[in-house]
Amino acid sequence: MAQQRVVGILTWREGGRFSEPDYLRRLVLAGRKLGARVYLFSHQDVHAAERKIRGFTPKKAGGWQSQWQPWPDVVIDRYRRRVPQYMRLRHSNLFTFANSPFSKKWRVTMMLAEDGRVSRWIPDTTVYAPGVVREMLEQHKLLYIKPGNGTGGRSILKLAAGNRGYELLGRDKRSSLVKARLQTVQGVEKWVKRWVQEQRLQGGNFLVQQGVDLALVANRVADVRLLIQKDERGKWSVTGRGVRVGKAGSSTSNLHGGGSAVPFFSFFKQRFGESQARLIAEECDQLAHRTAEVLEERFGRMMEFGLDIGVDVGGRPWLIEVNPKPGREVFRQSGEMATYRLAIKRPVQYAIHLAK
């Protein structure tokens, strides 16, 4: 009989509360169906001297139960908080990890911009400093000012230059909508400086990025969330693509901010016609494969990336952001349940492949 593989999922835990519990429950159950023993654990559950782990599995009626679990063959890292205890565990040699530590988003963006394999898809981007907004406005009529380590569309500011001055639209730390209209570039610089100081997340840098016209739907922002994952043979494969359409008047497309999800082909076929929609899909896939190749060379073994890709009004894809611990809700919300189930199954399939 084949040996049962043991897969641990490292995540944040406080008492019986976990981050992203719904997804992690599905991940454990998907692993069971594949014949693996899968459980959740956090940094405080590791007893290295005895080589055992207090692991958590879902109860049928909801909630979690804990018991001593065997040492994992492979660990999937879903921890999203860079607390010291996690960092120590992450840099120890205790486990074989399916995915390597990743850098801050702004560093990744700057690194990709310098690599010839992907640079053509990266909008003009620079780290925020006094005077940068003025310089960038001389080259681009539309800018985004965003935190280099942000998530969920928070603290992102859209800045548009027009005949009647400058329009600023954003979401603050609490996801509340913020609007302003200013007449002078000096006024804009002062306003943005205050925004950067007040909206800074976890002490990270802000980026100033060339805005791409993503108004494929009137008065809304739309972009593509593409998920590329390693499959059961350890090869990179595009699992799916979905389109997120922002709330009317919002500066972002995020589902947290009230955006909605629609299937990729129906959206782009309606906007550009079938043949151009296929070409856009092919270029998005090419961009994803190149990005995964470059990042894995730089950071070591990875298992999945969520890419936020902006497709401009001319049909040209641009890479907006890369996430090494992506969500997959865009597929569930757009009704693509087969893609959603595959997106959950693949991390465990790859972990089993590694264990073998």
| Locus of tokens 């302003």 | 180
Burial 15-39 (b: 16+ CB within 10 A, else e): eeebeebebbbbbbebbeebebbbb
What pLDDT, in 10s, does the model give residues 280-297? Answer: 999 999 999 999 999 999
User: How many folded domains does the chain comprise?
Assistant: 3
**CA-to-CA distance for 214 and 346, rounded, in angstroms?**
31
What CATH number did the domain enclosing 31 receive? 3.40.50.20
Q: Do both 226 and 204 map to the same domain?
A: no
Clarify whether residues 333 and 251 are in a common domain. yes
**3-state class of 345 per DSSP?**
helix
Residue 341 lies in a domain: yes
This prediction's pTM: 0.87
Whether residue 80 sits in one domain with residue 137: no
Spatial CB neighbours of 160, under 8 Å, sequence gap ≥ 6: 141, 142, 143, 166, 167, 168, 169, 211
Among residues 210, 233, 268, which one ends one of the domains?
Answer: 210
Write the single-letter amino acid at 199: Q
Give the domain-ending residue among 68, 90, 112: 90
Within this chain, do residues 267 and 164 fall inside the same structural domain, yes or no? no
Residue 146's pLDDT is what?
Answer: 87
Q: pLDDT tens digits for 188-247? A: 999 999 999 888 766 568 889 998 887 787 667 788 999 999 999 999 999 999 999 877
Q: Say if 109 falls within a structural domain.
A: no
Nearest CA to 106 out of 73, 45, 63, 149 is that of 149
Do 348 and 229 fall within a single domain? yes
Residue 215 lies in a domain: no
- Is 229 in the same domain as 322? yes
pLDDT band of residue 61 (cuts 50, 70, 90) is: confident
User: Same domain for 254 and 302?
Assistant: yes
Half-sphere exposure of 222 (CA within 13 A, CB side): 23
Q: Which residues pair with 207 in a beta bridge?
A: 127, 146
Question: What's the rounded Cα separation, in Å, for the pair 138 and 185?
Answer: 10
Q: Look at residue 103 and tell me if it is in a domain.
A: no
In the chain, pLDDT over 90 holds for what percent of residues? 74
DSSP structure class, residue 44: G
Provide the token pair at 307: 């890419």
Residue 205 and residue 229 in one domain:
no
Same domain for 233 and 169, yes or no, is no
Tell whether 108 is covered by a domain: no
Judge whether residue 145 has pLDDT over 70: yes
Backbone angles phi, psi at 212, to 5 degrees: -110, 135
171-189 pLDDT, tens digit each: 888 888 899 999 999 999 9
- Residue 128: how many CA atoms within 13 Å on its side-chain side? 22
Q: Give, for 342, the enclosing helix (H) or strand (E).
A: helix 337-355
The proportion of the chain whose per-residue pLDDT surpasses 70, expressed as a percent, equals 94
Q: Last residue of a domain, which of 189, 210, 231?
A: 210
Residue 265 and residue 202 share a domain:
no
Q: Is residue 340 situated within a structural domain?
A: yes
Does one domain contain both 278 and 182? no
What does the pLDDT average to over 253-271? 82
pLDDT of 269: 96
**pLDDT band at 348; cut points 50, 70, 90:** very high
> In this structure, what CATH number is given to the domain that contains residue 296?
3.30.470.20
> Lowest-confidence range among 115-119, 147-151, 172-176, 317-321?
147-151
* DSSP run (H or E) holding 24: helix 21-33
Residue 201: inside a domain, yes or no?
yes
> Same domain, yes or no, for 320 and 230?
yes
Q: Are 98 and 79 in contact (CB under 8 A)?
A: no
User: What domain range includes position 277?
Assistant: 222-355
The reply to whether 171 falls in a domain is yes
